[in-house]
Amino acid sequence: MWIDVALNPAEIALLPGRALADTTCVVFDVLRATSSMVTALAHGATAIHPVSTIEEALALHQKLPGAVLAGERHGERIDGFALGNSPFEYREEVRGRTLVTTTTNGTVALRSCAHAGRVLVGALLNLGALGAEIRRHAPERLLLVCAGTFEEFALEDAFAAALLLQGFEGAELSDAARALLALPGAYDSPLNALRSARNGRVLESKGRGAEVEWCAQCSLYPVVGEMQEGCVAALAP
């Protein structure tokens, strides 16, 4: 297996032009989009439609009037949307529901990988299940996609990707992937890594430290979300 990493939004912007038919992409937006998606799937959401823009979300909602509109801009719930981007909002009232969601970086990263062989939703919350799913299917190529923050690298996404990477000893690694292996050793816990990240500090400054703590839990849920034809659903156990 060959493993590479897309570390920032500039690299993600190039993904639609890359040949990814033989590649499994794992998208991380740990604070908070993919953590919220994993939480939603673990609590019974049946489908999540990630889209890049608010306009796309509103248009898709017209076609799926029973769906729940969710998402954020600048970390805050979008006016008129039922849910924002806190994982705590995805533990109640999502069972059996379809979600349409747009976020600043995470949903853009997912859509940028739509033409890949497989697209999986990654977070610390489902790290163990992700690793098991990838080992079960043993793709020829694995691309870890770190969604970032606005146009910048995000520490928390790279940290989660690095922890996943540690489970694939013997794989061939790009230089970027090899560099990631040193990252977990810089922190004594996932929570401290997330608290050190820019997004973690911003959330804590807004009184949302509990969300950071939630997203820092490793392998809480045995659930893997896969995006097919623009829709994320939980894989059968």
Tokens 């893997």 label which residue? Answer: 224
Largest Cα separation within the chain, whole Å, is 49
pLDDT in tens, 82-138: 999 999 999 988 999 999 999 999 999 999 999 999 999 999 999 999 999 999 999
The sign of the CA dihedral 9, 11, 16, 22 is negative
pLDDT in tens, 37-49: 999 999 999 999 9
Segments making up each domain of the chain, as ranges: 2-226
Strand order from edge to edge, sheet including 118-122 = 76-77, 68-73, 98-102, 47-50, 231-234, 225-228, 118-122, 23-28, 141-146, 2-6, 172-173
- In sequence order, the β-bridge partners of residue 237 are none
Over its length of 237 residues, how does the chain's per-residue pLDDT go in tens digits?
999 999 999 999 999 999 999 999 999 999 999 999 999 999 999 999 999 999 999 999 999 989 999 999 999 999 999 999 999 999 988 999 999 999 999 999 999 999 999 999 999 999 999 999 999 999 999 999 999 999 999 999 999 999 999 999 999 999 999 999 999 999 999 999 999 999 999 999 999 999 999 999 999 999 999 999 999 999 987
Q: Decide: pTM greater than 0.85.
A: yes
Preceding omega of 95 cis (within 30 degrees of 0): no
CATH of 2-226, one of 3.30.465.10, 3.90.1720.10, 3.90.1560.10, 3.40.50.620: 3.90.1560.10
Q: What share of the chain is helix, strand, coil (3-state, %, to 5)?
A: 40, 20, 40
Looking only at the bridges linking them, the beta strands covering 68-73 and 47-50 are unpaired
